[in-house]
């Protein structure tokens, strides 16, 4: 019986570089070894495990945050595309298969790319660079004419513009965030720590491990909560002193 996950030690890289956790879901040992070797050569990828079937992959997704899946289609027990159907909020996916006829069906799942075996390293490199484009919003846009600062976020197949002065608060949902404005809210794959860094100098304050708020949108504050647009949001214990110093001065 094959091991559930193969151990992997990545090369040391710069701490400033954003890293993406990935898994390989592949039942052919040689194909898995090739992908593992390719991943080892990409500084921004961290291989978290090799799963011989989709059932093991489900377990791995419950154990750790995964940003990218390299997914074979013809798997034992549960086929790759059927596995994708079971995921409510799937990570980014790159299909790896010997069967070209599934390409159109794969793209219906909004996969990042579709690689045909045997996968050449140059083609692999093109695919993984799409990950950085898909998961990174544009930086805050401020022109010399001081137009309204905004960010673009990936939502499904579109980039949605969000003006910073319209944001009420942001909620963390594990590897996703939900951004609330008076008119709408959007769900996008992003880490709350990353968005906190982008917004740190733009009127926003982290009040809880799961919440960032716009300071000028706060309607009321107590020792345990802040109220924004009729919603009561908790102040985390470890954030209380900072929040009180910032808001009550």
Which of 42, 11, 5 has the alpha carbon at shortest distance from 24? 5
Domain positions in the chain are: 20-135, 150-247
Fold of the 150-247 domain:
OB fold (Dihydrolipoamide Acetyltransferase, E2P) (2.40.50)
Distance between CA atoms of 26 and 236, rounded to whole angstroms?
Answer: 41
Q: How confident is the model at residue 10 (pLDDT cuts 50, 70, 90)?
A: very low
Q: What is the pTM of this model?
A: 0.53
Q: Label residues 159-173 b or e (16+ Cβ within 10 Å = b).
A: eeebebebbbbbbbe
* CATH number assigned to the domain with residue range 20-135, chosen from the 4 options 3.30.300.130, 3.60.15.10, 3.40.50.970, 3.40.50.2300: 3.40.50.2300
The pLDDT tens digits for 199-241 are 866 789 999 999 999 999 999 999 899 999 999 999 999 988 8
The pLDDT tens digits for 75-124 are 998 999 899 888 888 899 999 988 877 666 666 677 888 899 999 998 89
pLDDT at position 142 is 42
């Amino acid at each position: 019986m094959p091991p559930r996950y193969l151990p992997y030690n990545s090369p040391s890289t710069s701490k400033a570089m954003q890293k993406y956790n990935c898994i390989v879901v592949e039942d052919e040992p040689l194909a898995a070894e090739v992908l593992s070797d390719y991943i080892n050569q990409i500084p921004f990828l961290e291989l978290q495990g090799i799963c011989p079937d989709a059932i093991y992959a489900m377990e791995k997704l419950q154990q750790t945050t995964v940003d990218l899946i390299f997914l074979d289609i013809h798997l034992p027990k549960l086929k790759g595309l059927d596995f994708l159907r079971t995921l409510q909020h799937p990570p980014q996916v790159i299909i790896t298969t010997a069967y070209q006829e599934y390409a159109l069906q794969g793209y219906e799942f909004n996969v990042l790319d579709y690689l045909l075996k045997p996968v050449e390293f140059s083609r692999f490199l093109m695919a993984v660079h799409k990950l950085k484009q898909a998961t990174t919003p544009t930086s805050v846009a401020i022109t010399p004419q001081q137009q309204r600062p905004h960010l673009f976020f990936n939502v499904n197949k579109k980039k949605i513009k969000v003006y910073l002065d319209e944001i009420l608060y942001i909620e963390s949902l594990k590897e996703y965030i939900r951004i609330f404005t008076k008119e709408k809210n959007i769900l996008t794959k992003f880490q709350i720590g990353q968005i906190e860094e982008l917004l740190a100098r733009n009127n926003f304050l982290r009040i809880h491990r799961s919440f960032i708020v716009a300071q000028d949108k706060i309607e009321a504050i107590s020792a345990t909560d802040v109220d924004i647009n009729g919603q009561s949001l908790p102040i985390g214990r470890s954030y209380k002193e900072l929040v009180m110093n910032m808001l009550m001065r």
